[in-house]
Structure formats: C-alpha cells, structure tokens
Amino acid sequence: MWASWTTVRVFAGRGGVHTETAGVLTGELDVHTTWVDGEARVAVQHSGASDWFAMTGSPVACTTEQESRVLHEAVVAAVRAGGGATVPPSGALDR
C-alpha cells in the first residue's frame, strides 16, 4: 500500500526549513509526504517551483497510513513554526 499528501502554500516561520541538499528554505513552501512500505518520505519545494528537496530527518518509519498522515500534519505545523524545522521522529508524534 501507499498514500501521499501535499499541502501547498505553507508560509515557513522565521528560520525556515532544513533540507538535505538545498540548505534552509524560507518563504512560501509546498510540503509533500509519501508513505510506502512502512516509511514516510517528506519533501518541500518553493511554491510553484519544480524541484523538491528532502527535509532533514526524512525518511521516517511509519507503520500505518494513519501514522504517516499524523506525521504530515506535524511537519506542516513545524514548517509554519520555522526555527530550522526538521521532520520529527515518529516516536515524538501524538497518535
């Protein structure tokens, strides 16, 4: 099984979002999570851009689709908060 979610036009809080290859992204971002084979992969891009960048901390083990949905919502909240946001570990999520 697999699932995916995208939240567009999320304004990153002060300090932005850490990525693996593009450094810190700031401004208006799109957040995408793909869940497959018990793992959630989270990527971000500047809204309207074509390049996606893995967020620092991705991938994360998620045993269920619901857990990966909760992770996606936690990532969106972290992006809005800024402060150099990274993907929270699955053990830190409220289920």
Domain locations along the chain: 2-86
- Which residues, in sequence order, are bridge partners of residue 60? 40
Looking at the predicted structure, is the pLDDT value of residue 95 above 60? no
Rounded to the nearest 10°, the torsion over CA 62, 11, 20, 67 is 0
The model's pLDDT over 20-77, given as tens digits with 9 standing for 90+, comes to 999 999 999 999 999 999 999 999 999 999 999 999 999 999 999 999 999 999 999 9
Q: Give the pLDDT band (50/70/90) at residue 89.
A: confident
